[in-house]
Amino acid sequence: MTKLLEWISVISAVFAVWYSLIGGYVKHPMIENNMNIVLVSPIIFVLLFGLYAVTVVLYRVFTFNNCEEAAKELQVEIAEARKDLLDKGLKW
Amino acid sequence: MAATSLDSEITKSDKYSILLPTYNERENLPIIIWLIMKYLDKSGYDFEVIIIDDGSPDGTLDVAKQLQKIYGSSKIVLRPREKKLGLGTAYIHGIKHATGNFIIIMDADLSHHPKFIPKFIELQREHDYDLVSGTRYKDGGGVHGWDFKRKLISRGANFVTQLLLRPGASDLTGSFRLYKKDVLQKLIDSCVSKGYVFQMEMIIRARQLDYTIGEVPITFVDRVYGESKLGGSEIFQFAKALLYLFATT
């Protein structure tokens, strides 16, 4: 199954549950009393997920390792390499 | 017990072919070769470097010839091509001439440091992985020389990719990897995309074909010499490839 089909199946399943709730196929006082929340629940879910995504991405951006040490080490090695290659007779 | 002695026989004869596709890397090529020699000679692994220059106008090939004289033609192999023909075909070209049973691919622009190669090899041996990928996104890895915007695009793209494709590897667009030779051949044969999204497709196909993937955190120091590019067209290509793989794999 492709990833697209996986997504379609899961979303359809969730949609079917939601539709049975708002369509009144499942009778329960808790659902009837909170019909407004049930109605907008997909939007709430999408918003919450968006918030989660933005938080995770921003956190990872700000904690992205800058590798200052690696950059410095590389500069030192480049200088060493230039000197050594010059000694070995490389012209470039 | 027979298997153990057989394993050690295989290990003894392991050879690593490092493919270095170059285009206008005159400045970087001697340094990267020097670094490879420094870290691999020390490690004692049998290896060769295959330089695939795509007719660079800056004379990269002349420098490569000088390097071959210095380090010997068993270590430095030159397989130039007439003109720029793209990364995927450079790998095919390189594999054809590789005498090793493992292939290491890396960029010649010094963003990939050869000091990580022995770590790739050790991890591969420990678990017999089909491929080992360097990752900038795991603990111990990272990137030098990226501004906020670049990091945001990178992390954002990675988040969306992980969500949609669940590839089983954290760095999809990186190109510092070690492959078993036959695995790389099969992956290249099954890839359809060109350009830098090719790297992403390789990992996704690897998952699809049930190959095992190991990861080594790497520090990525963005181009010391020359310009690094990330423009609208790269982002568009990436999005297109992502949707294509999402719908087809």
pLDDT tens digits for range B157-175: 999 999 999 999 999 989 9
The pLDDT value recorded for residue B192 is: 85
ipTM computed for the complex:
0.89
B220 contacts in A (CB within 8 Å)? 67
Q: What is the pLDDT of residue B106?
A: 96
**What was the pLDDT predicted at B135?**
97
B6: pLDDT strictly greater than 80: no
Chain A CB within 8 Å of residue B166 CB = yes
Q: pLDDT tens digits, residue range A31-77?
A: 888 899 999 999 999 999 999 999 999 999 999 999 999 999 999 99
Q: What is the mean pLDDT of chain B?
A: 91
H or E element at residue B18: strand B15-22
Is the predicted pLDDT of residue B10 greater than 60, yes or no?
Answer: no
SS (H, E, C) chain A: CCHHHHHHHHHHHHHHHHHHHHCCCCCCHHHHHCHHHHHHHHHHHHHHHHHHHHHHHHHHHHCCCCCHHHHHHHHHHHHHHHHHHHHCCCCC
Q: Which residue has the higher pLDDT, A31 or B225?
A: A31
> What is the pLDDT at residue B205?
94
Q: pLDDT tens for residues B29-72?
A: 999 999 999 999 989 999 999 999 999 999 999 999 999 999 99
Asked whether the predicted pLDDT for residue B7 surpasses 70, the reply is no
B-chain CB neighbours of A57 within 8 Å are: 152, 155-156, 159
* pLDDT tier at B2, thresholds 50, 70, 90: very low
Report, as an integer, the average pLDDT of B172-179: 94
Q: Is B28 within 8 Å of B60 (Cβ atoms)?
A: no
For chain B, the residue count is 249
Q: Are the CB atoms for B152 and B175 separated by under 8 Å?
A: no
Report whether pLDDT(B3) > 60.
Answer: no
Do the beta carbons of residue B40 and residue B118 sit within 8 Å? yes
Closest Cα in chain B to A4? B247
Mean pLDDT of A18-24: 90
> Nearest-CA residue of chain B relative to A5?
B247
Contact check, Cβ <8 Å, A77/B156 = no
Six-digit token string for A63? 């904690």
Interface check for B216 against chain A (CB to CB < 8 A): the answer is no
Q: What is the pTM of this model?
A: 0.89
pLDDT at res. B1: 45
pLDDT interval class at B11 (50, 70, 90): low
Q: State which residue of chain A sits closest to B37, comparing Cα positions.
A: A81
